[in-house]
Chain A
Amino acid sequence: MTAEYRDPEQLTEVLDILREFGDDAKLIAGGQSLMVMRRQGLISPSVWLDLNRVAGLAGITAMDGGVRLGAMTTIRTIERDQTIRAMCPALAQAAAAVGPLQVRNMGTIGGSVAHNAPGADCPPALLALDASAMVVGAAGARSFALADLFTGYFETALRPDEVLTEFMLPALSAGARAGYLKFATRAVDMALVGIAVVLEQEGDAIRNVRIAIGGAAPVPFRARDAEAHLLGAKWTEAALREAGRLAACAASPVSDVHASADYRRWLVRTLVPRALASVSTGTPAGRES
């Protein structure tokens, strides 16, 4: 059976088509994961609903108190954008760390979040940056804290009639630093583990810290125990090590062809202190190109 293909120009048409076809329609953004899944026979929707011509879904706007990021903005645009690099460096670093150049050229931030593949680089960065997501559907618009959007392995809270339209990234407080550290076997692989950090220090005290981890659980998660241990603590190697241990305890990774669960847990334990240290010294942790 040949699938139908629709590429509307207005969001209202998208919602109409989703209402008509429900689960039989599949939204496609950059397509860099979906086309692979189609090839592997894992998905075969009756309608491909292409978001690329829909007006108003892409773009980066600096606003009072933060950045508005359209869901159809490409990873490559985010990687290179001066506003993102200045205001959300952890996200720029995560975008630069995403696989091959061709995937960054086509792949979108909304697609990455809605797909929710473990090992995706941008979702933990968004989580550490305290992003919220706007979702529009038949019943109107809903706003989510990013953590509430991720519900399970490749699953989100998005309903079949809903579209992710944009993210809001609150500005970092003055003096806060942020970064993303990725570990993968080859440069273009997905992360075995990716760590995004937002850190605010005063002298050698830690005033604020957010640690978000990808690849080490069914969904990206905040390492709350590690954060609590560091908050208000002195910046010592022992404190960082303990944060790594606590973060590893909170991880619930799977074993797959790329790495065992134990290895991923060790990566979390090793990389959390390393990510904190590199953000603290202002060394870009991710990859650039």
Chain B
Amino acid sequence: MKRTIAFTVNGKPVEIEVEPAGLLLDVVQEQLGLLGARRGCETGYCGACTVLVDRQAVRSCLFLAARIAGRQLTTIEGLATEGELDRVQSAFVEHGALECGYCIPGMILLAESFLAQNPHPTDDEIRRALASNLCRCTGYVKMVEAVRAASLVR
């Protein structure tokens, strides 16, 4: 049975009907039309589908759609303000921290969540956090540099 739920998407309130036992990833891609959350392994292994729920990184392939009711959903599309990339996005661009790009929305949202709780991380902590997601181009070194640089932006 479908259920109507209200929540915010990148700051804007929405009210939509969802299949409650469906997955947030399907809602984000198919109902909200936000394709930055990537469909990767769908078994919680790769992190490509990462979104933020109440500012915390979440794997949308492991999150029941109905749980988003009343919460704040942030996707990669919601990070820039009036066309200005935020500090993590800018750092990824400046450091060339991307190859094919498929994992990047997930990586950036992961870094956002990590830096929000740990604003002055060590390199070791950055590596451990980024290990949460897979980059099959293996472009991790520049990502670590980018997250370190973002952490130093005031």
Within 8 A of B (CB), among A208-256: none
Closest-by-CB residue of A relative to B18 is: A5
Chain B min CB distance to A183 (Å): 15
User: Given contacts A289-B125, A289-B128, A289-B129, are A50 and B57 in contact (CB under 8 A)?
Assistant: no
* Complex alpha-carbon distance, A48 and B65, angstroms: 12
Within 8 A of A (CB), among B1-42: 1, 3, 19-21, 23, 42
Q: How large is the interface on A (under 10, 10 to 19, 20 to 34, 35 or more residues)?
A: 20 to 34
Segment at the interface with A among B74-82, B86-94, B113-121, B146-154: B113-121
A288 touching B62 by the CB < 8 A rule? Answer: no
Chain B min CB distance to A150 (Å): 23
Interface residue? A36 (CB, 8 A):
yes
User: Given contacts A35-B44, A39-B42, A102-B132, are A80 and B117 in contact (CB under 8 A)?
Assistant: yes
* Complex alpha-carbon distance, A268 and B131, angstroms: 25
Within 8 A of B (CB), among A84-117: 99-103, 105-106
Q: B48-92: contact bitstring with A at CB < 8 Å (1 yes, 0 no)?
A: 001000001111011110110000000000000000000000000
Q: A1-14: contact bitstring with B at CB < 8 Å (1 yes, 0 no)?
A: 01111010000000
Within 8 A of B (CB), among A10-69: 28, 31-32, 35-36, 39-40, 48, 50, 52
* Complex alpha-carbon distance, A100 and B131, angstroms: 7
* Complex alpha-carbon distance, A89 and B126, angstroms: 22
Interface residue? A157 (CB, 8 A):
no
Interface residue? A274 (CB, 8 A):
no
The residues of B that contact A48 with a CB separation of less than 8 Å are 20-21, 64
B110 touching A39 by the CB < 8 A rule? Answer: no
Sample of 13 more A-B contacts, CB < 8 Å, known A35-B44, A102-B57, A106-B58: A4-B1, A5-B66, A31-B62, A31-B63, A35-B23, A50-B66, A80-B117, A100-B59, A101-B114, A103-B59, A106-B59, A289-B121, A289-B128
